[in-house]
Structure 1
Amino acid sequence: MSRIGFWLVWIGFVTYAFFLAPPDRPDTFDLIKHLATGQIAGINPLIVALFNLMGILPMLYSCLLLIDGRMQKIPAWLFATASFAVGAFAIVPYLALREPNGTFSGKKTWWLKVLDSRWLGLALAITTLGLLFYGISQGDWTDFGEQWRSSRFTHVMSLDFCLLSVLFPALLRDDMTRRELTDDRLFWAVALLPLLGAIVYLVLRPPLQEQPENAVSPQPNYRTSP
């Protein structure tokens, strides 16, 4: 059922983004070029913050997704890489295709060690909080509302941000199991605080322990509260 749900979310998002969202504005390409090159003078800080957060969110997902991918048959790195360009359009299919698996075997590569590091989690947390403060405190909400209604780029990027923020718990349960975190309150604390819960989890989670090849870590049997 969860797989069907993820595919329905993906199909609905794709359909809405390409057929129902507002049309692109003539200045969309120039806006994207200026955002990508850091030429942000005159651009609404809310748009600047949102654009940069859409680069942070794939990193947050990669900290779980590429570790999860060690135990999957599908190439997690492909979806993680694509997410930096297309966000949830790449992440949601991975969530639909992956198998639930709370184990980890083998040694961590240097890249997995970086993604598992609390220092990276702390850097992402500081950057995220800084962008949120900058966008919320300095942004022009009236202008943002107008762009939401008239610009496909802003409209879809905003929905992409919201979707990625709320879907993070789809990878959380298995990541907690790999680290022998069995307190169900932790899961719900992260799940019920979109984005903020994710950055706190990445800062506080214990390091993943390496296991011999083909070893299977015991998975705790705990129930989710209704």
Structure 2
Amino acid sequence: MIKTISLFTLWLAFMGYGFFLAPPDHPDTLDLIGRLIRGPWQGINPLVIALFNLMGIWPFIYTAVVLVDGRGQKLPGWLFAAGGFLLGAFALIPYLALRRPNPTFQGPLDWGLRIWEWRGTGILLLLATVGLVGYGVTQGNWADFWHQWQTRRFIHLMSIVFLSTDPTISLTFGG
């Protein structure tokens, strides 16, 4: 019960912070998001590019865990996993709060679950993560990123959501 209350409190704090305390929105945010999705990336800080793409990796990592775990839950895990691709921690924290310990998987693995459970999927996600972190750290401009973090809501919240959906942090609460 303490875990559930703590996670919902954290979720409400994120929501309140995002709406009321984060830096203001920037007029070119939609253009930036479009360029991050489609390209071209010229003129965008590599740290922002890496972070944006890492925000796509975490939901894949969570999906691999949540789809199997979700089989034994009252609420379907796939729903929260899908929401994680768009909303990150804003969709995943409620699942972590509502889930119950599910130590054993019941039933056969279908082909979809086998793909998520396949060791190669984990290796590909690890390589993509290491590559993006390496690119951002070696090519990025930290002073520019810090300035954007302080002045742009999208960069600010994306950074916070990234840290809050880091599997090493969030799975600690998932217990």
What TM-score do the two structures reach when normalised by structure 1?
0.74
Q: Give RMSD over aligned pairs.
A: 0.9
Determine the C-alpha separation between the residues in 2 that align with 1:8 and 1:167: 14
Matches for 1:135-174 after TM superposition, within 5 Å: 135-165=136-166, 166-171=169-174
User: Aligned residue for 2:113?
Assistant: 112
Matches for 1:6-21 after TM superposition, within 5 Å: 6-21=7-22
User: Aligned residue for 1:95?
Assistant: 96
**1:169 counterpart letter in structure 2:** T
In the TM superposition, residue 39 of structure 1 has moved relative to its aligned partner by: 1.9
**1:155 counterpart letter in structure 2:** H
Stretches of structure 1 lacking an aligned partner (at least 5 in a row): 174-226
In the TM superposition, residue 170 of structure 1 has moved relative to its aligned partner by: 3.5
Determine the C-alpha separation between the residues in 2 that align with 1:156 and 1:168: 20
- Corresponding pairs, count: 172
**1:141 counterpart letter in structure 2:** W
Determine the C-alpha separation between the residues in 2 that align with 1:56 and 1:76: 17
Determine the C-alpha separation between the residues in 2 that align with 1:117 and 1:154: 33
Q: As a proportion of its length, which structure holds more helix? A: 2
What TM-score do the two structures reach when normalised by structure 2?
0.96
User: Aligned residue for 2:27?
Assistant: 26
Determine the C-alpha separation between the residues in 1 that align with 2:40 and 2:18: 26
User: Aligned residue for 1:63?
Assistant: 64
Q: Residue 107 of structure 1: SS of its match in structure 2?
A: coil
Determine the C-alpha separation between the residues in 2 that align with 1:57 and 1:168: 12
Tell whether the 8 Å contact from 2:3 to 2:173 is kept in structure 1 after alignment: no
**1:15 counterpart letter in structure 2:** G
Determine the C-alpha separation between the residues in 2 that align with 1:16 and 1:152: 11
Matches for 1:32-71 after TM superposition, within 5 Å: 32-71=33-72
Tell whether the 8 Å contact from 1:44 to 1:143 is kept in structure 2 after alignment: yes
**2:139 counterpart letter in structure 1:** Q
**Larger RCO (CA under 8 A, 6+ residues apart):** 2
User: Aligned residue for 1:217?
Assistant: none
In the TM superposition, residue 169 of structure 1 has moved relative to its aligned partner by: 3.1
Stretches of structure 2 lacking an aligned partner (at least 5 in a row): none
- What is the aligned-residue identity percentage? 49
In the TM superposition, residue 168 of structure 1 has moved relative to its aligned partner by: 2.8
Tell whether the 8 Å contact from 1:61 to 1:168 is kept in structure 2 after alignment: no
Determine the C-alpha separation between the residues in 2 that align with 1:37 and 1:94: 30
**2:51 counterpart letter in structure 1:** L
User: Aligned residue for 1:124?
Assistant: 125
Determine the C-alpha separation between the residues in 2 that align with 1:168 and 1:104: 18
Determine the C-alpha separation between the residues in 2 that align with 1:168 and 1:3: 13
In the TM superposition, residue 57 of structure 1 has moved relative to its aligned partner by: 0.3
Determine the C-alpha separation between the residues in 2 that align with 1:26 and 1:17: 17
